[in-house]
Structure 1
Amino acid sequence: MPGDITTHHDDTSSSGSSDHEDEHKGPPGGYDKTPLPDAPQGYTLRFVFHSASNVPVADLHTASSDPFLVATLKGTQPKRHKEDPDLKYRTRTIHRTTTPEWNEEWIVANVPPGGFTLKCRMYDEDVADKDDRLGNVTINVDSVSEDWPGIPPPGQEFEAKKRVMSKRAFILKGIASAISHGTHLAPRLRISIQVLGKSEPPFAQMCTLAPTRWIKHNSPMIGRLIGAKVNTNESDDEKPNGEDNEPRSTKYDFQANEIQLQGPVPPTLYHRYVEFRPVIGSLFSSTGIRGTILNKALHKQHHRIYNYDSTTEYGTFKPCSREASLQFLRMVHFDEGGRVFTYVLTLDGLMRFTETGKEFGIDFLSKHTMHADAEKYIAYSGEFFIRRLQHPDANDSPEPKEKTHPSEPIPGGPPNQPPPPNPAFYQLYIDNESGTYRPEKSILPDLKEFLQKNFPDMGIVTMNVEDEHLQKLKDEQRAIKKSEGRMMHVVMNSSSDSLSSVESELNDENYSLEAGRRSKKEAAHAVLRHPNPEHFKEAAEVMLPHREKKVE
C-alpha cells in the first residue's frame, strides 16, 4: 500500500553511485566533477521530534538521564557516490529527566517520492564517558506524495528497540521494572511527519532547510591550556573597554562553533579527501589496524573539541537574513584580536569552525579531517578571517579603496570601542587552504554566491590560497594576535606518521611525513612508529576497547 509506515531495526540500506574518472594527475581525491544523478521532483517534509517517555535511568546519582536524539535520514534516490554522508540532525540535550520534551522540527527538502528511512537513536549524554545508548526507532515509508497523510501532530508513539541499549542502561531499567510493577523496559518516542509541498531543484540532493541554528561548544580545559580567555558575560563583548571603570570578569574557554546554513549547497562544491598515501585511505575507510586506530583517534579529537555538555549553547536565527550575518559575526567576535579560523562546510550546509590556524598553536592529527569528523566527502574547506571597513558599504573587493581594520586603526570599533552591529561594516575573507581536501579554486565564485545568500549585507571575499595578497593579510592578522600576548604551543596528538602536520604536508609536493613530534604518551602513535606486537596490543587495548554486547 503506497505510503505505508513500517518500523524495524535493520540499519542497512542500499544506494546507487556513479564512478568518477580521475582527470587530474597526482593522488586521487580533491575536486570531484561527478554530476548529481537524475531524480524525480521530491517533497519537503517536516519532522518533529516531540518527546520520549519511559526513558531508562542512566545516572544513579540523580535517578534520571540526559537524553538526546540523533536522527539519520536516508532517501531512495541514487547518490553520486555510496560514500556520501546521510543527512543527520541532533536535538538539544534535556538534562536530568526520563520524560524529555524536545519539540524540535527538522525541515528537509527533496525527500524522494520513492520513500525514506528515518532512524532515531536515543542516547544519554555522558561528558566523562561514552554516551549510553537508550534505544532506537526506525521508521520506513515506502512512498511520498502530496496526498500522503503522514503522521500529523501530536504525533505517534513508537516503541524503541531495547536490544540496542547499553548494558548499564538495560540493567538499571530492569531493576526499575522489577521494583515498580507495570513499568515497561522499552522507552517510547513520539514523532510527527508532514508533507509541506513539492521541492525546488536540484531534486537528487536532499538538504536541510530549517532550523538554521547555531551551536557553541565550550571547553574550559583546552582554553586554560592555550591561555584563551573570554568575557564571562557575553554582553561585555559589545561594550567599550573600561566602560563604568569596572573590571570585567573573564574565564578560560576554547570555543568550537557550528552554524547550519540554509541549503542546498551548490552541487559544484564537492570534494573528496586526498589519498596521498595508502594509510590515508585506510584512515578514512577505517580498515586495517593502523587505519582503524587513526580513524578512532580522529573521531575522538572531533568529539573532544565539539563536545556537548551543560555549558553547550544553542540558538536559531532567520535564514538568509541580517540576523544570520550578525549571529555569525558574534561567533567569530567580529574583527577583534586578529583571529584566523579553520572551517569545513559539509554537503548539507553545516559550517564548523574553530580558531585553530597555524598561529594558534594547536597541533591536531589533521585540522580539516577533525572538523569534518573524518567524512570522506565535504563541500569545501579552508581558513577565514574578518576585517572591518571604514564605511558600511559591504565591500567585496580584496583591496578596498578605504581603510580596513586591523591593517589600520579605525575609530568606532575594536580594540577600544565595541564593534558596530551592522554587517555592512565587515568583510569575510575566506579561502581554500586545506591539504586534506584540496578545494578547487575555480569554484570559489560558487562558494561566494552561497555565502552571500546566507550572510546578506556583508562583504564576502573569496581568495585562492596561492594569492600573495591573501598571505600578506594573514600575516597582519597573526601579528595582531601575537601582540596581544604570548602564544602557547599545545600538542594534543602528534606523530610523524599520525598526520600531526598533515595540512602543511599535503601542500608540500614531496608529501613528506617526517615533520612533527612523537608523543610517547599516545599508544596509537607508538604503534605507528614501531609496529611490533607489544605496541599493537597496547594500542588495541587503548583505542579499541571491547564493545558492549547488545542485550537481546
Structure 2
Amino acid sequence: MDYDDVHPQARPMHAIDKYGPKFVSKAEKFQDLAVGNSDEENSAGGFDNTPIPHAPPGYTLKFTFHRAVNLPFADFNTLSSDPYLVAQLNVDLPKRHKQDPNLTYRTPTVQKDTNPVWNKEWIVANVPASGFELKCRLYDEDPADHDDRLGVATVEVNSIQPDWPGIKEQPFKVKKRKASKRVYFFREIAALTSPHSDREARVIVSVECLGQTQGDDGGHMYTVGPNYWFKHFSPLIGIIAGTKDEVHGEDDKKAVTHYNFQAIQVQLRGPVPPQLYHRFVEARSFVAGIFKARTLSGRILKHALHHQHERIYNFDKTTLYGEFPSPCVELTQKFLEFVHYSQGGRIFTYVLTLDGQLRFTETGREFQIDLLSKHTMHSNVSSYIAYSGEFFVCRRQRHRRQNSVGEESLAEVSNDPADYELFIDNASGTYRPNGECLPLLREFLSENFPGLRVTTLDCQKDEERMNSLKEEQINRKNRQGHPITLLQQSSSSSLSLSSFDEESDRRSSVSSKEQRKHATSTIQA
C-alpha cells in the first residue's frame, strides 16, 4: 500500500468527551460533601491476592481465521467494506472476579474487500475439556465515524478429547444479530440489481488441538502466541503538531512518513504470573463509579474514557501490524524500535493486561492533554490489570555510577539488545501495583524480550534512585530537544486518577514558563 497520501483520521468529538469531565467535577464536590474524602492510604484496591480457581489441565488450541465471504458492504460509494474480525473465547472456567475480561483477538483490517483473507492464527492454552464458544464478530473499520457491525458467527464445541479431530476450514454463517441496520439496508438495495447472487455471509475458521497444556493447574487460560503488535498513529497530537516520523516499509526500499505520536500494543507470550493481579484504587469517591458505571457521573466519564482510548489506539489505514511466532531477538529489536532506541530521553506510561498485552505511549508534560497519559485510558477502564507504571530505555555503559544512566553515543544506533537496559517501575496511582511483585514482572519481560537487560524500580523503596534516573531522562530530553512541545493548561475540570501523576509534574526540572518559551521557539523554527 502507498502510504504517502494516507493520513490518520480523527474520530469525531462527542459532546460527552467535552462536557463529561466538567460534569463529573461538579458531581464529585457534592459526593465528597455527602460521604467525605476517603483516606488514600487505606483506599480499596491495588494488589489482590485472590488465587486462580483450580481446574485440571486443559488443551492448547490453535485457532486460524482464514477468510470471510459475501460480507455486506458498509460504504455505499465504493460498494465495499474494510472488514476485521474480533474473536472472543468463552469457556466455563471460573474467574477470580466477574470483572475479569474474556480472552480476545483482533485481526488486522483488510481494506476495501467484502471477501477478506486474513489467515491469522491465535494459540490459546488451557482451554478446558468441557469445550468452548468462539464468538467471531465482524466489523467495518471507519475511523472517521464509528465501526459498523457486520454480524457475528459462532463456533461451538461441547467437549475436547486428546483424539479430537478439530475443525478444518469450516464455514460458519454470519448472523445479522446486533448488526448495523444501515449495512444490511445497503445489501438489500444491491440485491435488487443482482437477485440471484449468494447473500449469505460466512467466515471460514479452523481449530487444531496441539495437545494437553503442560502444568498441573488448568485454571489459567492464556494466549501463547503469536507475538503480534500494532503501532497506532494518533491524530490527537500528531495532526496538531504536524510532526512526522520516517518509517521504512517491509522491503526497506521506501521511506514512509507518519504522524509521530504513537501508541503501541504488543501481545506477549503467557502466562502472566498469577501474582500480577491488581484492581483499581478507590482513591476518590467518584472512582468506583467510573469502573462500575453505577452512577450517572460514572457512566458519563467511563464513556468518555473509552472514547479517549479509541482515539489514542486508533485503527486506520496507517496502523502498522506485525507478528513473531514466539519471543525472539527480532521481537526485542522491534520493541527497541518502538522506544526509538533510547534516543530523546523519552519516558513511557504502560499497562500490562491480564492476558499479557503490553500497551504504552510516551508520557511527559509536553503530552499533558486531559486523561491522555492515565493508566485508566491505557487499560480501557479495566477493573483488573496485571501491572502498570512507567518505563524508559537507556544505552548500557560498562563504567558508570550506580544512579546514573549514560548518554547514548552519537555514533550509529546499535540494534543489539545487549546494548540496552530497560528501567521499569510501578508508579501508578490508579492501580498501585505491589512492589514485591517487581521480580516477577522482570522475569516475565526478560523471557519475552530476549537479550534485553531489565531493571525494576519500586516507586516507594527506590524512590530516590527512580526520581534521579527520571530526572536525568528529562534533562537529556531538554538538551537533545524535541520536534515540538505541546501544552494544555490543566483546568479544574481535569481529572487525575493517579496521585503519582501530580508528583510527576512537580519533579520536572523545567518550569512551565521555560517550557512555553521552548515551545514557542520550536514552533517558530
TM-score scaled by structure 2? 0.82
* 1:53-68 to 2 correspondences below 5 Å: 53-68=69-84
Query: Structure 1's 213 and 250: CA in aligned 2 closer, same or farther, altered over 3 A?
Result: closer
* 1:271-420 to 2 correspondences below 5 Å: 271-358=278-365, 360-364=367-371, 367-391=374-398, 401-402=399-400, 407-409=405-407, 411=409, 416-420=410-414
SS in structure 2 opposite 1:40? Answer: coil
SS in structure 2 opposite 1:363? Answer: coil
How far apart, in 1, do the equivalents of 2:88 and 2:120 lie?
15
Alignment partner, residue 105 of structure 1? 121
Give % identity.
49
* 1:5-16 to 2 correspondences below 5 Å: none
Post-superposition shift, 1:68?
0.3
2:202 paired with 1:206: no
Letter in 1 for 2:240: L
* 1:448-487 to 2 correspondences below 5 Å: 448-466=442-460, 467-483=463-479, 484-485=481-482
2:196 paired with 1:182: yes
SS in structure 2 opposite 1:334? Answer: helix
CA contact (8 A) 1:135 1:165 kept: yes
Post-superposition shift, 1:251?
5.6
2:435 paired with 1:446: no
CA contact (8 A) 1:406 1:480 kept: no
Post-superposition shift, 1:298?
0.5
Post-superposition shift, 1:505?
6.4
How far apart, in 2, do the equivalents of 1:212 and 1:318 lie?
6
Query: Structure 1's 40 and 408: CA in aligned 2 closer, same or farther, altered over 3 A?
Result: closer
Alignment partner, residue 260 of structure 1? 267
SS in structure 1 opposite 2:498? Answer: helix
Letter in 2 for 1:453: E
Query: Structure 1's 167 and 233: CA in aligned 2 closer, same or farther, altered over 3 A?
Result: same
Letter in 2 for 1:277: R
SS in structure 2 opposite 1:446? Answer: helix
Match of 1:231 among 246, 268, 271: 246
Alignment partner, residue 154 of structure 2? 138
Alignment partner, residue 498 of structure 2? 503
Alignment partner, residue 85 of structure 1? 101
Deviation track 1:165-224 (CA, whole Å, cap 9, x = no partner) reads: 212101001112222112344421111111110112341111111111111001245224
Post-superposition shift, 1:503?
2.0
How far apart, in 1, do the equivalents of 2:256 and 2:288 lie?
47
SS in structure 1 opposite 2:104? Answer: strand
Letter in 2 for 1:136: V
Higher normalized contact order (CA 8 Å, seq sep 6+, divided by chain length): 2
2:187 paired with 1:191: no
CA contact (8 A) 2:366 2:485 kept: no
SS in structure 2 opposite 1:80? Answer: coil
Post-superposition shift, 1:404?
9.6
* 1:115-134 to 2 correspondences below 5 Å: 115-134=131-150
Post-superposition shift, 1:365?
6.0
Post-superposition shift, 1:113?
1.0
How far apart, in 1, do the equivalents of 2:483 and 2:403 lie?
22
Alignment partner, residue 421 of structure 1? 415
Match of 2:186 among 150, 167, 172: 172
Post-superposition shift, 1:490?
4.2
How far apart, in 2, do the equivalents of 1:256 and 1:175 lie?
39
Post-superposition shift, 1:380?
0.2
Post-superposition shift, 1:479?
1.4
Deviation track 1:139-189 (CA, whole Å, cap 9, x = no partner) reads: 22221121222212xx11111111322121010011122221123444211
CA contact (8 A) 2:83 2:111 kept: yes
How far apart, in 2, do the equivalents of 1:404 and 1:182 lie?
75
How far apart, in 2, do the equivalents of 1:495 and 1:166 lie?
39
Query: Structure 1's 62 and 268: CA in aligned 2 closer, same or farther, altered over 3 A?
Result: same
TM-score scaled by structure 1? 0.78
Alignment partner, residue 160 of structure 1? 174
Query: Structure 1's 220 and 449: CA in aligned 2 closer, same or farther, altered over 3 A?
Result: same
CA contact (8 A) 1:214 1:259 kept: yes
Q: Unaligned regions of 5+ residues in structure 1, if any?
A: 1-23, 238-247, 392-400, 509-552
How far apart, in 2, do the equivalents of 1:330 and 1:223 lie?
19
Post-superposition shift, 1:324?
1.8
Alignment partner, residue 7 of structure 2? none
Post-superposition shift, 1:225?
2.7
How far apart, in 2, do the equivalents of 1:389 and 1:404 lie?
12
- Number of matched residues? 458
SS in structure 2 opposite 1:502? Answer: coil
CA contact (8 A) 1:345 1:378 kept: yes
How far apart, in 2, do the equivalents of 1:234 and 1:432 lie?
35
Query: Structure 1's 497 and 143: CA in aligned 2 closer, same or farther, altered over 3 A?
Result: farther
CA contact (8 A) 1:174 1:185 kept: no
SS in structure 2 opposite 1:222? Answer: helix
Deviation track 1:407-448 (CA, whole Å, cap 9, x = no partner) reads: 44454xxxx333111101100000001111000001100001
Deviation track 1:320-350 (CA, whole Å, cap 9, x = no partner) reads: 2212211111111111000000000001110
Query: Structure 1's 186 and 178: CA in aligned 2 closer, same or farther, altered over 3 A?
Result: same
Letter in 2 for 1:253: N
Alignment partner, residue 522 of structure 2? none
